[in-house]
Amino acid sequence: MSELTLTVMRLGFLAVLWLFVIVTVQVIRSDLFGTRVTQRTARRAEAQRPPQPRQAPQQAARGGRQRRGAPTKLVVTEGSLTGTTVALQGQTITLGRAHDSTIVLDDDYASSRHARIYPDRDGQWIVEDLGSTNGTYLDRTRLTTPTPIPPGAPIRIGKTVIELRK
Amino acid sequence: MSTSQATGNTGSNTTISPGGLPSRRNTELAMLVFAVLIPVFAYANVGLAINGEMPAGMLGYGLGLGLMAGVAHLVVRRFAPYADPLMLPIATLLNGLGLVLIWRLDQSERLALRGDGIAAPNQLMWSALGIALFLAVLVFLKDHRILQRYTYISMVVALILLAAPAFFPASEANFGAKIWIRFGSFSIQPGEFAKIIITIFFAGYLMVKRDALALASRRFMGLYLPRGRDLGPILVVWAMSILILVFETDLGTSLLFFGMFVVMLYVATERTSWILFGLLMAAGGAAFVATFEAHVRGRIMAWLHPMDIFLPEDQRPEGLISDQAAQALFAFGSGGTLGSGLGQGHSDLIGFAAKSDFILATVGEELGLTGTMAILLLYGLLVERGIRTALAARDPFGKLLAIGLSSAFALQVFVVAGGVMGLIPLTGMTMPFMAQGGSSVITNWALVAILLRISDTARRPAPAPVPSPDAEMTQVVRP
């Protein structure tokens, strides 16, 4: 086998190996540069269009869930799960010590089915206490009925605090 | 407005991408095709360099690897549709490259003269078994939280597995470290399996005990000092790893278990003092054992003075018996930046264990610094995906388990790579996925399967809850 072919193959192999590494890093680039890289351009393009005709049909098409200003994720801000986020996609989120909860609370002051957070028909997120022993607090008040969550309001369960964010 | 909002978002500790959460199975498929083609390319390259022709088994091996990867992908698509898209391709690539490198060393006449048998077909069989176990874990382990039930059982099983080799009669094939169990011509390394099982125990135990370990402490000189009785578990694990070191003379396993425990303790409690304690205890223990254990001392001599083996017999430091370490350094040196090309190096000069512990030296010589960096980056990316999975997990047990498994993997890569490159004393461990060794490749496939299961649970959109009648008792706050 000629020297030239082998040299080309040697360098080619290194190039292919590095190409794999680079493609891999591309796949996870959202980890490195935050999560909004692709959405940012889409939003900018959207913002350039006149805002008025956009809102109504979109709301109708998506069942009103993704309306402007609606929270997109749930963030745990205090407690042992600090930093955990869950994307809000119209599904019900359960909180409690039970192993099958969406967010499993490792907290002696939480009940196994403690509370749930779900969207109503207008896309407004509601928090409901599921008969817990120590209660669920929205800001400072203990919940008695399903209550809409104002943006940025902390929900406290035992030592865990969660918030809905955009 | 959009820009400021975006920067505000990256500043927060976001852990999983909001909105959409695509399953990314097609990304995985594309990467997997890529990951199968690279070893096939490497195989052709070795064949052309050594024999001047395409290797005969190329189509067979290529199709075999492709078939295994394809089945694995279909099972992931069916049973873990939201799992991380990168772990399977990276593991496949590393395993495939390992097979090619072992096959390349099989071609060496020098190793054949030493009596090293052909290892590649066996390794391929072990890889297939590993992938079979990977599939079994994905199919039968529906939820990683089930493992939490077996916290203390797994402790017992892991201790038995770790202790077993010490009670088996030593054979000439033990090479200093007693970590094998032999059944006729067939040997397994139970310490490798214990790696996963003991992680389950650590995760379950620390999840329950971490509040006591984190909160009950005194502050002294800016450090949180744990109470005396809370030092119990770390002392037990430390004693266990020292016992492994003494009775099985295996520095690698002992370092791996202790290091993994310290990492998990730190993650569970957020107390830096545990790391400090751990490092001091590990260093103290190793130095203590080295004073009376000849095998360990020999390893340390080979690390400090690898070139002294070429001195005349009477001037050599005591305990230095092999030129492996020196030959590995020569291999890295002669590889240079771009390497000698696959199949054109002389890493077979390492002789014993060239296909297992020292496989990275072959990478270093034939792919050079460039290739070694790429391989180490791939290991790093696999570990990164594991830690990412831990961040995204929504239950404390899953978090600790994912951290434990990825740190075990990372520590193993560090211990082996550091040993081969002369950064730390060499320990008899295998490079995950690449090195020859059945137990290792099987265990690491199972490890990746558990990580995939955790990441699937973490990224899966939540299902509707089923109210359960047997709700646990809750403590009541008394005013």
What pLDDT does B372 receive? 94
pLDDT above 60: residue B293: yes
Weakest-pLDDT range from A57-66, B121-130, B151-160: A57-66
Weakest-pLDDT range from A66-80, B178-192, B377-391: B178-192
* Domain residue extents for chain B: 144-459
Is B170 part of the contact surface with chain A (CB cutoff 8 Å)?
no
Q: Across the interface, do B5 and A92 touch by the CB < 8 Å criterion?
A: no
Q: Are A126 and A118 in contact (CB under 8 A)?
A: yes
Task: Mention every residue, 6+ apart, whose C-beta is less than 8 A from residue B368.
Answer: A14, B335, B336, B337, B338, B339, B340
- Chosen from B5, B13, B14, B210 to mutate, greatest number of chain A CBs within 10 A: B14
* Reported confidence tier of residue B79, pLDDT bands at 50, 70, 90: very high
Task: Give the type of residue at B455.
Answer: S
Instruction: Residue B16: list chain A partners with CB under 8 A.
Output: 85-87
Size of chain A, expressed as the number of residues it contains: 166
Task: Mention every residue, 6+ apart, whose C-beta is less than 8 A from residue B272.
Answer: B223, B224, B266
Task: Mention every residue, 6+ apart, whose C-beta is less than 8 A from residue B371.
Answer: A13, A14, A17, B339, B363, B364
Of B372, B369, B390, nearest to B380 by C-alpha is: B372
Residue B263 has φ and ψ, to the nearest 5°, of -60, -45
Weakest-pLDDT range from A46-55, B146-155, B468-477: A46-55
**CA separation for the pair B8, B14 (Å, rounded):** 11
Minimal Cα distance from B48: which residue of A? Answer: A1
**CA separation for the pair B91, B386 (Å, rounded):** 12
- Chosen from A74, A76, A84 to mutate, greatest number of chain B CBs within 10 A: A84
pLDDT above 80: residue A56: no
Task: Give the type of residue at B64.
Answer: G
For chain A, give the percent of residues with pLDDT over 70: 75
* Reported confidence tier of residue A53, pLDDT bands at 50, 70, 90: very low
What pLDDT, in 10s, does the model give residues B176-226? 566 677 665 567 788 888 889 999 999 998 888 877 777 766 666 666 666
Q: Across the interface, do A35 and B10 touch by the CB < 8 Å criterion?
A: yes
What is the largest distance, in Å, between two alpha-carbon atoms of chain A?
Answer: 82
Instruction: Residue A99: list chain B partners with CB under 8 A.
Output: 143, 145, 148, 395
Instruction: Residue A81: list chain B partners with CB under 8 A.
Output: 394, 396, 399
Q: Across the interface, do B48 and A9 touch by the CB < 8 Å criterion?
A: yes
What pLDDT does B5 receive? 39
Instruction: Residue B49: list chain A partners with CB under 8 A.
Output: 1, 6, 9
Q: Compute the nearest-CA separation of A137 from chain B (Å).
A: 14
- Chosen from A24, A32, A78 to mutate, greatest number of chain B CBs within 10 A: A24
How many C-beta neighbours within 10 Å does residue B443 have? 25
What pLDDT does B71 receive? 95
Minimal Cα distance from B148: which residue of A? Answer: A99
What pLDDT does B405 receive? 95
Weakest-pLDDT range from A93-102, A138-147, B220-229: B220-229
B149: DSSP letter? G
